[in-house]
Amino acid sequence: MQQPPPFSSFTHIRYWPTWIGIFLLFILAWTPFAVRMKAGELLGMLTYWLAKERRYITQVNIALCFPRLSEQEQQALVLKSFRENGIGLIETATGWVRKTGAFKDQTTLIGLDKLEEARDKGKGILLIGAHYSILDFGANLLSLFHPFGVTYRPHRNALFDAFMLRGRLSNCNGVFDRNDIRGAFRHLKKGNTLWYAPDQDYGADHAVFAPFFGHTAATITAASRFAAINNSPTFLVRQHRIEGTPQYEIEFIPFPDSFPGDDDVADACLINTMIEKAIRQYPAQYLWMHKRFKTQPGGKPESPYIDIAAPNHRLTERQYGQVMANAKQLSELDDVKDFRLRPDMWVREYPGVASKRFFNKHPAKQFDRDARMLRLRHISAVTVDNIFRIPSMNISLVSFFMPQGKLLGQLPSRIMPLDALAVWLADLHDKGVSHPNPDADKFMLVDDSFTVVDPAGFTFRDKPLDLKARRQFLVKLSDNLGLTRTESDGFFAAYARAAGLNLVSTRNV
């Protein structure tokens, strides 16, 4: 079981901002309900405006999970979700610094009798929860009626983690790091109750793919293992604030006796279905800021969170050597080198350091930005995996997933599907995308479609290209492809039909 370090170990100046935040949360925890709600809403809206990446993740999640809502309704739910989670942070602090017993009369429990019956079996109880906005405060309320232990993920801020851990230990009879599986197992085997939330994406390891709101989600299988270790009765626990009131509701929903079964995927499907049903009751009170659909069967290229900059890592020369140990150099142009690490992973090496500074416009960061801009406009392009900077060598790397296909420059014009390429390029230009020098090796034929494999240097407009820009692009690409006059005329004609433009011959250029 986790034990927090003493607060006296956090006197360094770097912790002072966190101390100020904790002090403000402590003060707000003792204010009247209406003040706490208003402060939470303001905190949520401040987070909405400042946390650009979290806002984007929330927008993607809600668009995926509630496709029947209009764009205006989806945006309203995004805003409400941030307000609810701001309130949830104030409620969490309230549960950590105040005696939760003061809120006992404001709590309604549904199904507690079934929970008590299950406890009498002596096999422990598994509570499967989810990350609602009142996550910790709801747990504090539950502890007034039924003791239990929890698993948790340590916070990156050591002081806030200590503050959080103390708050949880004051209300729970066991707090276990999510990696301390043995400790959690022992807690259950002793006949205790364990709360566990399997609704976050921790990667493909120890997970299976199961639908969540109709979309594939990596779902960790630990819940099934917890339930099976002692044949523990399992309940879904739902905790919500009744909107507009200081009243809270906690419901215990028993899993069928067949859980856990012999099929991890079937178990995961059941868990996700039950969690989804609970979320739909108060959808704004769920933590939509988490990248729930990050891990996909096809890897990062299938992740829906396109507009998030690639991670930027600092490497030593030794680490650089390890990354490039089996790399095969493919080309070099103006000190920019391309390497293949494996068939589906390439690396581009640039001179200079791609720092994390916002104003740094290093080509590696531009490569990442251009790839994301293409994909955001629904144009197939490579997906950047990571950016690496090696200051001691004054170079940077960008690793990216390379699809399996044929570069256009490697295809003889006689077998190149020019009509299909023309249609694809017309769509590219209709979306305002162009390039001043469309080299043939920037594009790849993958199965029956096309992909941009070198996004560097593309330009993006808010309106379709004009006729002159289209002609210039097509002429340069025709030359780079080595098309004959007849092939070029047919290529232009196919493009004109697809774009609905008067562009029937290269002679008109």
4 within 8 A of 169, measured Cβ to Cβ: yes
Domain identity same for 331 and 226: no
Domain identity same for 212 and 261: yes
Q: How many CB atoms lie within 10 A of CB 15?
A: 18
Distance CA 408, CA 86 (A): 51
Q: What 8-state DSSP symbol labels residue 259? A: -
| Residue given tokens 């806002």 in the structure block | 55
Q: How many CB atoms lie within 10 A of CB 449?
A: 14
Q: How far is CA 223 from CA 129, 130, 239, 379, 437, in A?
A: 10, 12, 19, 39, 54
Which residue range forms the structural domain that includes residue 369?
306-401
Domain identity same for 76 and 178: yes
Domain identity same for 502 and 484: yes
Provide φ and ψ at 105, rounded to 5°.
-70, -10
Domain identity same for 207 and 330: no
Strand ranges of the sheet holding 234-241, from the earlier edge strand across to the other edge: 107-110, 248-254, 234-241, 125-128, 193-196, 149-152, 175-177
Domain of 501, CATH number, reads 1.10.510.10
Q: How many CB atoms lie within 10 A of CB 67?
A: 11
496's CB contacts (< 8 A; 6+ apart) are 502, 503, 504
Domain presence at residue 293: no
Q: Give the count of domains, the chain.
A: 3
Domain presence at residue 297: no
Give the pLDDT of residue 505: 53
Q: How far is CA 427 from the centre of its chain?
A: 29
Domain identity same for 357 and 335: yes
| Six token digits for residue 95 | 């549960």
Q: Angle 418-430/467-481 helices, nearest 10 degrees?
A: 150
Radius of gyration of the chain (CA): 28
Domain identity same for 436 and 326: no
44 within 8 A of 83, measured Cβ to Cβ: yes
| Six token digits for residue 81 | 């979700």
For Cα atoms 22, 150, 55, give the angle at the middle one, nearest 5 degrees: 55
Written as one string, the DSSP assignment of 70-86 is -HHHHHHHHHHHHHHHH
Q: How far is CA 201 from the centre of its chain?
A: 8
The helix or strand, by DSSP H or E, that contains position 128, with its residue range, turns out to be strand 125-128
Give the pLDDT of residue 84: 96
| SS3 sequence of 36-54 | HHHHHHHHHHHHHHHCHHH
Domain identity same for 180 and 329: no
Boundary (domain end) residue, out of 372, 401, 430: 401
Domain identity same for 169 and 310: no
318's CB contacts (< 8 A; 6+ apart) are none
Beta strands 234-241; 125-128: pairing state? parallel
3-class SS of residue 34: helix
Q: Is the peptide bond before 363 cis (omega within 30 degrees of 0)?
A: no
pTM: 0.91
Domain identity same for 180 and 315: no
Distance CA 73, CA 90 (A): 26
| Six token digits for residue 202 | 């921790």
Q: How many CB atoms lie within 10 A of CB 3?
A: 9
Domain presence at residue 194: yes
Domain of 395, CATH number, reads 3.30.200
Domain presence at residue 1: no
Boundary (domain end) residue, out of 368, 401, 434: 401
Domain identity same for 168 and 269: yes
Report the chain (509 residues): mean pLDDT per 10 consecutive residues.
Answer: 75 88 89 93 96 97 98 98 95 87 92 91 92 89 89 81 78 78 86 92 93 96 91 95 91 94 95 97 96 95 96 96 93 91 95 87 95 97 97 96 92 87 96 94 92 95 94 93 90 92 58
| Residue given tokens 């002072």 in the structure block | 16
Domain presence at residue 224: yes
Distance CA 179, CA 182 (A): 9
298 within 8 A of 209, measured Cβ to Cβ: no
Boundary (domain end) residue, out of 350, 371, 401: 401
Domain identity same for 165 and 247: yes
Domain presence at residue 290: no
Provide φ and ψ at 212, rounded to 5°.
-140, 115
